[in-house]
Amino acid sequence: MSPFDFLNAINSTKENLFEKDPQAGKDYKPFLINRGLSYFPDTIFYANQMNQHAGLDKKDAETESLELVKEYYGYSSEKATEALKVLSEENLIMIKEKLYKGGKS
């Protein structure tokens, strides 16, 4: 898989290549993808953020949303992943507000 496949998926098809092809994780080169994204005005800031956090694992880690759904519904990781597919952004904001315990973020 070439860097152009990743850029095309990000900018056009919006398809998750990591789910589609297990080999994608090995072919993903963050520097090349970020450089490619820096040429587009609507993705330059995302590329900058990814460059600032270059030490993060390439694989998709458990996100804050996944943890919120797991805690709110008492779901396992697998079930929470499925639930995230049907929950809207507004649902996740509501869940985050309900689980907010106060203190520093």
Both tokens of 103, joined, read 């203190």
Q: What is the structure's pLDDT at 98? A: 93
Structural domain of residue 7, as residue ranges? 3-52
How far is Cα of residue 37 from the mean position of the Cα atoms in its chain?
16
Give pLDDT, residue 57.
Answer: 65
Helices (H), 15-76: 17-20, 24-27, 30-37, 44-52, 64-73
Domain count, the chain: 2
What's the pLDDT score for residue 61?
42
Tens digit of each residue's pLDDT (9 = 90 or more) over 4-29? 988 898 888 988 888 888 788 788 88
**Would you say residue 93 lies in a domain?**
yes
Round to whole Å and give the CA distance between 83 and 17: 20
pTM of this prediction?
A: 0.51
For 23-30, the CB contacts below 8 A with 24+ separation are 25/58, 25/59, 27/1, 27/2, 28/58, 29/3, 30/54, 30/58
Q: Tens digits of per-residue pLDDT, 86-97?
A: 998 899 889 989
Give residue-wise pLDDT tens across range 36-85: 989 888 888 988 888 887 776 655 644 788 889 999 999 998 898 899 88
37 and 73, same domain (yes or no): no
